[in-house]
Structure 1
Amino acid sequence: MRQAPTPAPGLFLTLIAVCSAVTAANIYLAAPLLSLMARDFGSAPSAIAWIASVAQLGYAVGLLFFAPLGDSANRRRLVGGLTLVTAAALVASAAAPGVTALAVAMFVASAATVIPQLLVPLVAERAPAERRGRHVAAVIAGLFAGIVAARVLGGLAGQAFGWRWVFAGAAVLTLVLGLATVLVLPSQRRREGPLFAGLAALPSVLRHSPDLWRACLRQAGMFGAWSALWTSLALLLTGPEYGLSTATAGLFGLFGLTASAVAPPAGGLVDRFGAARVVRSAYLLAAVSVPLFWLGGHTLGALFAAAVLIHAALVASHVANQTLALTATSTPATANTAYVVAGFAGGAGASALAGFAFSHSGWGGVCAVAGVWLVLGWGLTAVRRDGGQKRG
């Protein structure tokens, strides 16, 4: 494949951010559509809530196998191939005749839609050291904008056209943006080695980098808390307590715009004060949001405030922890794999437990799951002393 000329840095960063938004949205398409899917398949919404965790688990598995290849493989070919697989699996999701077929198709789509995590190390690699946090934050802002779009636009489109058309539309967007990004990526191999050398090196990389280990666990705790609350929120809003339609409940995702707004200043704070301070502040925000979410089970105003706080906490923590992970070792793609897999494994576990908790203990049980994940994420890393102020 012929090497395309690299576009201007601003245009390049914008295209990467938009591609990340579109592909990240694929993981969260199911959450606002659970009620519509349940009606189509003749099930209760809580009975198929596990579909959301299947997508997150698939993403984590895909990261394990594909993201480390960013240290050695031809990025253009890798991103192009994953784009085609993702689009095909989304089409299969749209045509799924039952819950099992849908789960399998979503697992494949989510496993292949790891494109953002192949692009973030490239952005960090190209960025000036003094602006690395800001550049990483720009891509993360796009990623979270995609998550918001999945919930808001997915809910609206699902209500208007049916959930199957949402997946079909996502397939088209993924194909167009993924292939457009392929055209501007560098095609050279970065270093030679066995195909899955990065995967094999993961335990050693984690063992020899306390900074990476800490970033992984802290983000797993934070992302797990967010996932438990956010993937179960549609069940609360469309349930008897509020009785909202799928489209109206989807509009609640607009609070996720907080994430896109917080990312750029969070990147600046990481560049100025270091990752540790930003993560500590993010955990404090998240800790405040959990009791507000609990109150939100009956008071809509508390739910509004909680949604803003948890998104601000998640994105600030993500910008800080991912910047730290990308600079903690000499193999950023492998380190980034460990970081994102840890986060999504934490998210998948919390989402699955939250669905069970909602069925048996209601919204209070979901909030308890979120609180436990925050305690684990911070407590398990508090046993090791932080590094320098700048390293976190």
Structure 2
Amino acid sequence: MTVTQSPKSPTTDTPPRIRPTAARTRPSGGGPLLAVIALCTAVTAANIYLAAPLIGLIARDFGASPSGAGWIASVAQLGYAVGLLFFAPLGDTANRRRLVGVLSAVAGVALIAAGLAPGLPALAAAVLVACAATVVPQLLVPLVAERAPAERRASHVATVVAGLFTGIVAARVLGGLAGQAFGWRAVFFGAAGLTVLVGLLTAVMLPAETRPRTAANPFKAIAGLPGLFASSAELRAACLRQGGLFGAWSALWTTLTLLLTDADGPYGLSLGTAGLFGLFGLVSTVAGPVSGSLVDRFGAPRVVTFAYALTAVSVPLFLLGGHALWALCAGAVLIHAGLMAGQVANQTRALGATSTPAAANTTYVVAAFIGGATASALAGPAHDHWGWPGVCAIAAAWVVAGWVGGALVARKK
């Protein structure tokens, strides 16, 4: 990863503690460092979704129903949200080498505890801790953006974001296959080994900190997030726009299994076959680098517009996909490409919006998470009352809300 930094203009919102006095080049891991960071992001992000494809095996082992064990996947999301609030903002003040190393070790120990869990409560507690420590990607994205040259910043961010989406897909697809072959406990043990190995390697390869040492107070960092959101129109626009895209994706993708596996529906697929639709997530991995190049060349606003166009086209295709498989597949490709393009463009905007990139990144991810979780929560009842068209209506509403909300904020800048 390139680490050359150019002097910033007086109008650039750059933190005083890292503003260079002259252009200089610092030692760097170059390409290998960026590759290791992307790998670390993939491995750690996978931990959040590790339990989801294993729920059936876990339930059978503990003598519970799949619905009775399904809340483990929700605990994983809760743990990630807690870790995001408490640890991610510390990237602006704490020693990132030490923080990445400690969090990777904690996650590894918690994953081992999950593999040894004697029952569902113990498993839930271990998953909660493991996912709270799995916020390493949100510590590394601001670092990458900070050290990348301005003309290639989005491309570098896209590499890391692509790693994150690859990890999510791998957890859902490969995690289930490995669980069937070796048992769900072996999956947690394997994840523990990978998390510690890759996490510690990343910590060792990270560049030495040049910032003054300051005390890291997570409560103070959390308290400052609402004020940071209110103070930056650019950050608010990025949050609203990505909340709309992620909400549309969440509404459709979290309920797609209901459409595919409904015995009285048009497809009636098995759960395993329906799970293969997760492979469409690999579109995000391919679209990431392309999106980064487009942002660097044409700017984030144009790419965000393109992302919304792709997502807007995908929604009627999903609606048509209620009876036509080809439309469902085409919609899946477009919505993943739109989500990734928006993620790269909006996150790049958020990281450059304030003088505290880690806190801004936390605000951005939390806002997107809220948008996605809210749409997902409404999609289930909408499906129960109005079927698949109700789910598509929720997705369409989020697309409109995200675009209009972002436009109104941008107009007030």
CA distance in 1, matches of 2:322, 2:115: 32
Instruction: State the SS of the aligned residue for 1:188.
Output: coil
Return the index of the structure with the highest Cα Rg.
2
The alpha-carbon deviation at position 158 of structure 1 amounts to: 2.8
Separation (CA, whole Å) in 2 of partners of 1:131 and 1:86:
32
Q: 2:65 aligns with which of 34, 43, 47?
A: 43
Q: Summarize the Cα distance change of 1:56–1:227 in structure 2 as closer, same or farther, 3 Å threshold.
A: farther
Q: CA RMSD in A?
A: 2.6
Name the SS of the counterpart of 1:385 in structure 2: helix
Closer, same or farther in 2 for the Cα pair 1:29/1:366, shift >3 Å?
farther
Q: Percent identity?
A: 65
How much has 1:357 moved relative to structure 2? 4.3
Alpha-carbon spacing, 1:368–1:42, altered in 2? closer, same or farther (3 Å): farther
| Aligned residue in 2 for 1:226 | 249
Count how many residue pairs are aligned between Structure 1 and Structure 2. Answer: 383
Question: Structure 1 residues 14, 143: closer, same or farther in 2, change over 3 A?
Answer: same
Q: Does 1:328 align with 2:349?
A: no
- How many Å apart are 1:152 and its aligned residue? 1.7
Unaligned regions of 5+ residues in structure 1, if any? none
How does 1:113-262 map onto structure 2 within 5 Å?
A: 113-188=134-209, 190-191=211-212, 192-196=214-218, 197-240=220-263, 241=265, 242-262=267-287
* Higher normalized contact order (CA 8 Å, seq sep 6+, divided by chain length): 1
Distance 1:92 1:360 in 2: 41
1:37 Cα deviation (Å)?
A: 4.5
The 5 Å alignment of 1:88-127 reads 88-127=109-148
CA deviation after TM superposition for structure 1 residue 371, in Å:
2.8
Mean Cα deviation higher: 281-290 or 368-377: 368-377
Aligned to 1:348: 373
> Structure 1 351/298 Cα, relative in aligned 2: closer, same or farther at 3 Å?
same
Structure 2: unaligned runs, 5 residues or longer: 1-25
Cα deviation digits, residues 61-91 of structure 1 (max 9, x gap): 2111101111111111111111122223323
- Mean Cα deviation higher: 353-362 or 261-270: 353-362
Indicate the residue corresponding to 2:47 in structure 1. Answer: 26
Whether 1:281 aligns to 2:295 is no
Contact 1:156–1:247 (CA under 8 A) maintained in structure 2? no
Structure 2 partner of 1:14: 35
Match in the other structure for 1:377: 402
Q: CA deviation at 1:207?
A: 1.4
For 1:232 and 1:31, how far apart are their aligned partners in 2? 14
Q: Give the aligned partner of residue 342 of structure 2.
A: 317
Contact 1:33–1:246 (8 Å) recurs in 2? no
SS in 1 for 2:409: coil
Q: Is the 8 A contact 1:258 1:311 kept in 2?
A: yes
* Pairwise CA distance, 1:360: 5.5
Cα distance in 1 between the residues matched to 2:138 and 2:268: 37
Assess if the C-alpha contact under 8 Å between 2:94 and 2:216 holds in 1.
no
Mapped partners of 1:387, 1:131: distance in 2:
29
Alignment of 1:253-272 (within 5 A): 253-272=278-297
The answer to whether the 8 A contact 1:32-1:151 is kept is yes
Superposed CA deviations along residues 281-307 of structure 1, whole A, max 9, x for unmatched, are: 111211222232233333322221111
